[in-house]
Amino acid sequence: MKRNFVFVAIILASVGGMSFNTTSINSPASELRDAVSISMNVSSANGPVAGALVKITAGGMTIGAGTSDGTGKATINIPTYGRQLVQIEISHVLYRSEKLVDQVLESGKTFSVSLKAKSETAESVTQKSEETVNKIENKTENTAQKIEEHKENTEEYKQRQENAAKSQEELRKEREEAARIAEEKNRNAEAGMTEAERKQAEAEKQRLEAERLKSEKAAQVEREAKAREEAAKKREEEAAARMKELENSKLTDAKAEEEQARKEAATKQKEQEEKVKEAEKTAKEKEEKAKQEQKEVSDREKEEKAVAEREREKAKEEEKKEKDEEKAKEEAEKEAKEAEKREKEAEKAQKEAEKAAEEAAKEAEAAKELEEKLAKLDEEQKELDKERKELEKEQKKLNDKKKKGKNLDKIQKAQEKLDEANRKLDEKQEKLDEKRKKAVKKAK
């Protein structure tokens, strides 16, 4: 009985379009469904990873699986394979999963991945524990040194109390003089701002109205362009789905191999987890002993620190009074400078208000021109929408014919022409949307 196998190749053209080439083959022997055997090397920063589950899927179906051995290698045999794109997933309870996507398998080919640890190995737990114990012992030595430092600090804080009290009166006098100058400058600045504020408010009102109109038009153009882009994307996805359906028909289910590999991986991974738990227990005992020794020295350090802390608080109180007085003087001087600045800004504000009024008038004119230009482009859009509806009607008729399952070769050619027409119309739509965006950009 004669069988036809149709292979459809999608070729991306340099202009971004797609074309379809269809070849009919009358011999069953010509269908590409060969056995393949591939290898996977699984490693990490610490060397080979044993017990990793390697699963190969195509179109959502498992077609092969295996478990890495002590050298990190897994060999997977697939009885039938038609060169479809596959996904290779590598997982292990102690590491983050990895995935190789859109791969083509070839007999003898070796893939390699390096996994990142998400939990620690027994060796790393032991090493980390030793580092922790060393840090605790070093901390104990440092604490003993701090006891002597606290005693020295106590004397230093007493001297700071005496120094802070001496400079407060001088700072108070400087603050009062700066405050007098600031008050005089503020009176001069307030007199010049009223008229400038009125002109600025009128110009701002006109500018905001023009900006509102331009923003509304820009948002409308963006929404409509996005909707048309999504429609074009949906058509491409539907075409890809039809191709995927053909590819999936060539796959062989390998669920049994996957389950066997999963059990082997689980056994090996459980053994590795037990080693990690034992190492963690030993490490915890060593750390607890070191912490107890550190606590005894820390308690003595706290007693000396409390004495120094009381003297430090007294010094801080006197220094705070000194800083408050200095800050008050600086604020008064700052206010005097700000008042002088406001006096000059009042003159500048009147000039800027007049300039803002001129700019607002220009914005309003640009908004009007944008509205008129978009109205002309909307007329062109109506023509494109009309063409799109005609193509949608043709697609519906073609879909109805596909359901009957007759004249598939003829339907395939008709589908190619219809897809090409949609792509050309998408290009026209893209150019029209670009005109809109340029108009909006120019009006800004």
Q: What is the pLDDT of residues 276-285, one digit of tens each?
A: 788 788 888 8
Same domain, 141 and 36: no
The secondary element (H helix, E strand) that includes residue 150 is: helix 122-166
Print burial letters for 424-434: b (CB count within 10 Å at least 16), e (below 16).
ebbeebeebbe
pLDDT at residue number 9: 30
Q: Is residue 275 part of a domain?
A: no
Same domain, 213 and 87: no
Same domain, 307 and 396: yes
Cα torsion 112, 117, 121, 126: sign? positive
CA atoms of 81 and 58, how far apart (whole Å): 10
Q: Is residue 436 part of a domain?
A: yes
Structure tokens at 259: 């389950």
| pLDDT score of 157 more than 50 | yes
CA atoms of 115 and 46, how far apart (whole Å): 10
| pLDDT score of 420 more than 90 | yes
Q: How far is CA 230 from CA 224, 225, 426, in A?
A: 10, 9, 11
| pLDDT score of 301 more than 90 | no
Q: Is residue 278 part of a domain?
A: no
CA atoms of 410 and 132, how far apart (whole Å): 75
Query: From the CB of residue 371, how many other CB atoms can be counted at a distance below 10 Å?
Result: 15
| pLDDT score of 330 more than 80 | yes
Please say which residue of 104, 119, 134 terminates a domain.
119
Cα torsion 403, 404, 408, 414: sign? negative
> pLDDT, tens digit, for every residue of 209-262?
777 777 777 777 888 778 778 877 887 887 677 656 545 544 555 777 788 888
> Which residues face 61 on adjacent strands?
58
For residues 239 and 347, the model is more confident at: 347
Q: Is residue 399 part of a domain?
A: yes
CA atoms of 125 and 94, how far apart (whole Å): 13
From 83-87, 248-252, 299-303, the region with the lowest mean pLDDT:
248-252
Strand pairing report for 47-48 and 18-25: unpaired
Give which of 84, 67, 78 is closest to 264, Cα–Cα: 67
DSSP, collapsed to helix, strand or coil, labels residue 299 as helix
Check if the beta carbon of residue 325 is closer than 8 Å to that of residue 170.
Answer: no
Q: Is residue 26 part of a domain?
A: no
CA atoms of 42 and 67, how far apart (whole Å): 10
Residue-range definition of the domain harbouring residue 43 = 32-119
Same domain, 333 and 431: yes
Strands, E assignment, 206-280: none
Question: What's this model's pTM, rounded to 2 decimal places?
Answer: 0.35
Q: Is residue 335 part of a domain?
A: yes
Strand pairing report for 53-58 and 73-81: unpaired
Q: Is residue 76 part of a domain?
A: yes
Structure tokens at 191: 């007199």
Check if the beta carbon of residue 35 is closer than 8 Å to that of residue 440.
Answer: no
Q: How many residues does the chain have?
A: 444
Q: CA angle, 241 as apex, 239 and 243 as ends, to 5°? A: 75
Q: CATH code at 94?
A: 2.60.40.10
Same domain, 110 and 137: no
Half-sphere exposure of 275 (CA within 13 A, CB side): 13
CA atoms of 334 and 328, how far apart (whole Å): 10
pLDDT at residue number 192: 63
Number of domains in the chain: 2
Distance of CA 71 to the CA centre of its chain: 36
Same domain, 163 and 303: yes
Please say which residue of 71, 96, 119 terminates a domain.
119
Same domain, 76 and 177: no
Q: Is residue 247 part of a domain?
A: no
Same domain, 111 and 203: no
| Mean pLDDT computed over every residue of the chain | 79
Same domain, 111 and 152: no
pLDDT at residue number 98: 93
Q: Classify 47 in phi/psi space as left (phi over 0), alpha (psi -120 to 50) or beta.
A: left
Same domain, 111 and 173: no
CA atoms of 169 and 443, how far apart (whole Å): 62
Same domain, 157 and 92: no
Please say which residue of 68, 96, 119 terminates a domain.
119
Q: How far is CA 119 from CA 94, 115, 272, 393, in A?
A: 5, 12, 11, 57
